[in-house]
């Protein structure tokens, strides 16, 4: 939309968009995307066989809550970026803080582990497929979040697209955690972060084009 068109539209007395319209629209995007991501999990992967046992382990919950915290902060960030003139404020800190915590855990685990255990902790058994699987499970939420943003009014399209990617990546990684057998902090700090960064970068690039007025 060009500036002259916007001014003309405002001058004709267009009614204001409800305050929580962005919140509802992005929430509906999640309601549409998450079941599709779960369908990918159950049809292509399944739950890990020992899920009933590992849910008692602190590292399992760390692996699950790490991306969920990113997804929650990304939801707030997307909702703010979807509205013109609304500041993101400290919402970005919620995206960065979980990563920093996991990196700190990884550094501590790396330097306290015996030398021969360090590389196995970093690579695990699934380093070749982890990031790709997270990206695959993030895809439905990524698409629905971008579609939701197209119906709103982000003035910073690249940032809005990146935030939508962070939302999708956090959801995708949390869902993948129900299948993934890895629990080592170095593995999470590298491959989960890479998996979540893929939709972030894709969102930043696509947002410049898809979310432009």
Is 13 part of any domain? no
The span from the CA of 109 to the CA of 192, in Å, is: 16
Domain of residue 119: give its range: 21-210
Buried b (16+ CB within 10 A) or exposed e, 106-135: beebbeebeeeebeebbbbebeeebbebbb
Mean pLDDT score across all residues of the chain:
90
Is 6 part of any domain? no
Q: What SS3 class is residue 97?
A: helix
Is 11 part of any domain? no
Read off the pLDDT of each residue in 110-117 and give the average, rounded to a whole number.
96
Is 3 part of any domain? no
Is 89 part of any domain? yes
**Of the candidate ranges 9-18, 58-67, 154-163, the one whose mean pLDDT is the lowest:** 9-18
What's the Cα-to-Cα distance from 12 to each of 5, 15, 17, 21, 152, rounded to whole Å? 11, 9, 15, 21, 20
pLDDT single digits (tens) 78-93? 998 988 877 777 778 8
With 0.75 as the threshold, say if the pTM is over it.
yes
Is 186 part of any domain? yes
The span from the CA of 195 to the CA of 188, in Å, is: 10
Q: Residue 136 pLDDT > 90, yes or no?
A: yes
Q: Indicate the pLDDT class of residue 6, thresholds 50, 70 and 90.
A: low
Is 12 part of any domain? no
Is 7 part of any domain? no
Domain count across the chain:
1
């Amino acid at each position: 939309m060009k500036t002259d068109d916007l001014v003309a539209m405002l001058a004709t007395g267009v009614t204001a968009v409800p305050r929580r319209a962005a919140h509802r629209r992005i929430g509906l995007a999640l309601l549409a995307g998450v079941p599709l991501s779960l369908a990918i999990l159950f049809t292509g992967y399944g739950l890990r066989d020992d899920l009933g046992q590992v849910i008692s382990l602190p590292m399992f919950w760390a692996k699950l809550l790490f991306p969920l915290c990113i997804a929650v902060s990304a939801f707030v960030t997307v909702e703010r970026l979807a509205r013109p003139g609304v500041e993101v404020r400290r919402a970005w800190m919620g995206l960065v803080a979980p990563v920093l915590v996991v990196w700190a855990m990884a550094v501590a685990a790396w330097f306290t582990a015996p030398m021969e255990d360090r590389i196995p902790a970093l690579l695990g058994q699934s380093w070749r497929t982890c990031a790709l699987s997270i990206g695959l499970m993030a895809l439905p939420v990524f698409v629905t979040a971008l579609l939701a943003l197209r119906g709103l009014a982000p003035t910073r399209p690249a940032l809005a697209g990146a935030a939508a990617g962070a939302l999708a990546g956090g959801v995708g990684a949390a869902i993948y955690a129900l299948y993934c057998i890895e629990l080592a902090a170095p593995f999470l700090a590298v491959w989960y972060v890479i998996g979540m960064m893929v939709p972030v970068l894709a969102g930043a690039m696509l947002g410049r084009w898809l979310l432009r007025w």
